[in-house]
Structure 1
């Protein structure tokens, strides 16, 4: 079996990925600075002798080089994912997304590791003119600092593939849902309804159209691509073949919680600066490898609500 390095190992996707890798017999070196990751998500993994946790900041390149020694594959998920508030702290995206990715690549090079999977985002397409959006769609003007920082990370990775013989899979996600979810619209709506079940503030007009993907389907795609991707530099959109309005998701959440709040819209066709009112990705390329998502968007939303109902401690952990 192989040894994987997972950055952001205590996060939502990262901790689920660590569990999956251990379950199939791999060794895992997990790296997290716990700025947003949760130690409780690693409770099961920490019981395995095949898991080693290293707490460090990816900006500490010397410590990072030491930490990943012995790894064979790097799955780089650590990032600042706070798209909505990017304009309030622009340097955070630069440091945690772009510079941290450079440090990961240099630490890999120092250790003779040449295979990487990278969590990018569908936000790199900005407000795409082609819907559903394929991987080779023309890149428009970047509309968020998060998307711009991820685009820069992709550029660095492709250059390392060309210059140093790396092999990479870049994953452009839609929003991910499911167990251990602690960031995004379902989290925000659930928290708001806990505080006041009679009224729900909604950014924009609720008609924003978005696609979502269940976390275990996401992990299936990542591991399949790392095994079967044919090129030196590979880019895959990850999502389902449908989308929903924010209003649809609100309806499913409220039905699950048995509440009927008054919806208080802020107005406009988007929620914040850089919010794309329509995200729908073409996933033919990853499907060609044999991947098919198992859950619909609605099922993913309901799985997320179930997790939050059973783990309300996460709201205090993220306050």
Structure 2
């Protein structure tokens, strides 16, 4: 299999590249390095089965060249910051919706058979059903980030049905682990290194969400992709998350313990009932029953994933 991984030098993308290469595939990475790092993929640079293209997916020509000759596209390129939507919504449009449109335009004129897209739990918004299943409706994102991900999903579905390729869409919970360079754990570690005596916590600390380690995420993506290839659906959706969830305050306690510190917690109080920022989903836990029917099962709980991620980031940050 020859695969293109957009955003392949990023956090999740680079772990996916590792797995693809270890399985003996040919892999091409397209990344502008705005969020990714060459350090994440440097082990493969001299491998004859690996190719790296530094390019901006807002450039149609770059995207068309990147899809040439590949069988499957794993589309992970995106701006990962949910919070940026309230300050710069145009950035989330360009780096989530526009680049997906450009990719789809290139795919429709190519021999690409499969597109695998990493969407987000944010497409569900403040879901009234928790755990939230894939068929939950109506989808009502409360952030520009969630809206951009949902727009990309809709474009992918429309193009797949119209231009006869198949698309697998993963709605991800909070993904954490080695190489992550944003998110609550990363932020807490940086804050405590600057001031070991006090930790600022956005919101009221009761925000409760599901976390999945990147190793479980990549294993789930590969397992479900193999299952999807054996089915006859044009487009399908799968949640990837955990069976449990954890509060922001509990994460702060785990990070503090991992750093050997006992800081004062200073809660900002947040907005809209204790959220960290406008658009922050306060309660999120996805139903993963559909994913489990394929035979996949996560190795780590949310708590275990957080503890492992703290250890990994303290060793590498």
- Normalized against structure 1, the TM-score is what? 0.95
2:264 to 254, 262, 272: 262
Per the TM alignment, residue 247 of structure 1 is displaced from its structure 2 partner at its CA by: 1.1
Q: Distance in 1 between matches of 2:296 and 2:95?
A: 30
Are 2:214 and 1:215 aligned?
A: yes
Question: What is residue 86 of structure 1 aligned with on the other side?
Answer: 85
Question: What is residue 203 of structure 1 aligned with on the other side?
Answer: 202
Q: Deviations over 1:69-105 (max 9, x none)?
A: 1110000000011111211111111111001001111
Question: What is residue 168 of structure 1 aligned with on the other side?
Answer: 167
Q: How does 1:100-179 map to 2 (within 5 A)?
A: 100-179=99-178
Are 2:280 and 1:280 aligned?
A: no
Q: How does 1:10-21 map to 2 (within 5 A)?
A: 10-21=9-20
Checking the alignment, whether the CA contact within 8 Å between 2:92 and 2:148 is kept in structure 1 is: yes
User: How many residues are treated as equivalent by the alignment?
Assistant: 311
- Normalized against structure 2, the TM-score is what? 0.96
Q: Which ranges in structure 2 are unaligned for 5 or more consecutive residues? A: none
Question: What is residue 244 of structure 1 aligned with on the other side?
Answer: 246
Checking the alignment, whether the CA contact within 8 Å between 2:108 and 2:159 is kept in structure 1 is: no
Deviating above 4 A after TM superposition, structure 1's stretches of 4 or more consecutive aligned residues are none
Deviates more, 1:294-303 or 1:76-85: 294-303
Checking the alignment, whether the CA contact within 8 Å between 2:123 and 2:140 is kept in structure 1 is: no
Question: What is residue 296 of structure 2 aligned with on the other side?
Answer: 291
Per the TM alignment, residue 140 of structure 1 is displaced from its structure 2 partner at its CA by: 4.2
Deviates more, 1:21-30 or 1:136-145: 136-145
Are 2:312 and 1:307 aligned?
A: yes
Checking the alignment, whether the CA contact within 8 Å between 2:69 and 2:111 is kept in structure 1 is: no
Per the TM alignment, residue 26 of structure 1 is displaced from its structure 2 partner at its CA by: 0.6
**RMSD of the TM alignment (CA)?**
1.0
Question: What is residue 224 of structure 2 aligned with on the other side?
Answer: 225
2:237 to 235, 238, 242: 235
Per the TM alignment, residue 208 of structure 1 is displaced from its structure 2 partner at its CA by: 0.4
SS at match of 1:179: coil
Q: Which ranges in structure 1 are unaligned for 5 or more consecutive residues? A: 313-319
Q: Deviations over 1:197-231 (max 9, x none)?
A: 10000011111011000101100111112111232
SS at match of 1:47: coil
